[in-house]
Amino acid sequence: MVTKIGLSLSCRRAFSESTLVSRMSSKALRLFATAGPFFWAFLKKHKKAEIWGDCIFPVETNFLSAIAVVDLENREFEMPYPLYDISTVVDIKIDRINSYSGSQVLRKHHPVDDCKASFDALQKRWKL
């Protein structure tokens, strides 16, 4: 089957699966198996939601690719687009954790705390 971009679905699926799985650790595969279906359900429910991340390559982009490849034929053109990257808007050289203006102490490289710090940096940049 030839699709809009000219590659057969089976070729794209084989390439995606071999590339993604070979790069994912067993911990990442377990996390994906748990979080992937929930995130897909969220995306289907909130189709118009904007997806923001901070330095979204490779973690978020690979996570979304892994979600798509589960059912590539049906999900290929259903994934969020565009993806917005906070690092294109704020200074990437600042330590977002240390510049956080909230009252709690944040942990470095913690998914929830990184989100809070990145959103705080975005709010400061846009003066929200």
Average pLDDT over residues 71-95: 86
In whole angstroms, give the CA distance from residue 109 to residue 97. 9
Q: Domain boundaries in the chain?
A: 1-46+56-80, 89-128
Residues 6+ apart with CB under 8 A from 29: 21
CA distances from 55 to 1, 69, 88, 99, 127 (A): 34, 22, 8, 17, 21
Residue with tokens 């705080």: 120
For 112, the token pair is 């929830």
Percent of the chain with pLDDT over 90: 1
In whole angstroms, give the CA distance from residue 56 to residue 45. 22
- Residue 5: pLDDT over 80: no
Q: Which of 82-86, 104-108, 111-115 has the lowest mean pLDDT?
A: 111-115
Interval 108-117: pLDDT, tens: 888 788 888 8
Average pLDDT over residues 16-36: 62
Confidence (pLDDT) at 24: 58
Confidence (pLDDT) at 45: 92
Residue type, 40: W
Q: What does pTM read for this prediction?
A: 0.64
Mean pLDDT rounded to a whole number for the chain: 77
